[in-house]
């Protein structure tokens, strides 16, 4: 592994220790009326991040209903140097079948303007579709070459273990579990999630760390 880099799970993907989440890029841009901020501010934030060596960017299809993906994709295409792109699938109730995941990923790829992402994650473990069904969809996405690695987000210890086992049956590694984790929110420590990630070789990605 390169100095100063971290590996996502047991994959070959390496990232800088600090990544940038782009939820606000889609949901909090406000035009006019002197409120919020617009794409020029977002572009400045992106350039400043790249100048500091940040190359790991996380988005999701539900951030601004795809707007975050479109903005991030444009900035990546207009910029220089490689970046690690991660996005997320949201298991809406009207997506009651595994094939919906691959279809959603293709939509994300169109908005991002790339052939594949580095990391594709499922946003929440919502029923009624089973974790195993979604993980089969994730494995399909890997086999189709649409993503290099797969992860989960907001999964408990047991849910993560189920996801890990389901993917292992398809020969795919679970790379990450993205959860809220900070000095003020330390549930991953008390719940055993942090240790479970270590035991399974899964990288814990902290969101809202500050």
Residues identified as active-site? 63
Contact 99, 144 (CB under 8 A): no
d(CA 157, CA 152): 11
Residue 4, number of CB atoms within 10 A of its CB: 9
How do 14-15 and 6-7 pair as beta strands? Answer: antiparallel
Contact 151, 126 (CB under 8 A): no
d(CA 163, CA 134): 9
H runs (alpha helix) in the chain: 23-27, 39-51, 67-78, 99-112, 131-143, 157-168, 187-190, 193-200
């Amino acid at each position: 592994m390169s100095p100063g880099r971290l590996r996502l799970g047991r994959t070959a993907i390496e990232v800088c220790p600090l990544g940038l989440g782009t939820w606000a890029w889609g949901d909090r841009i406000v035009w006019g009326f002197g409120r919020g901020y617009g794409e020029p501010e977002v572009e400045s934030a992106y350039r400043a991040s790249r100048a500091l060596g940040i190359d790991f960017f996380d988005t999701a299809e539900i951030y601004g209903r795809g707007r975050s993906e479109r903005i991030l994709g444009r900035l990546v295409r207009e910029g220089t140097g490689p970046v690690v792109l991660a996005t997320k699938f949201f298991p809406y109730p009207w997506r009651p079948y595994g094939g919906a995941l691959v279809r959603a990923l293709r939509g994300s790829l169109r908005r991002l303007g790339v052939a594949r992402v580095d990391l594709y994650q499922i946003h929440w473990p919502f029923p009624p579709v089973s974790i195993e069904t979604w993980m089969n969809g994730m494995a399909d996405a890997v086999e189709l070459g649409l993503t290099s690695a797969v992860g989960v987000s907001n999964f408990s210890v047991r849910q993560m273990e189920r996801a890990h086992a389901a993917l292992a049956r398809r020969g795919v590694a679970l790379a990450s579990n993205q959860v809220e984790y900070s000095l003020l929110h330390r549930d991953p420590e008390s719940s055993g999630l942090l240790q479970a990630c270590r035991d399974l070789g899964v990288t814990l990605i902290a969101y809202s760390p500050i």
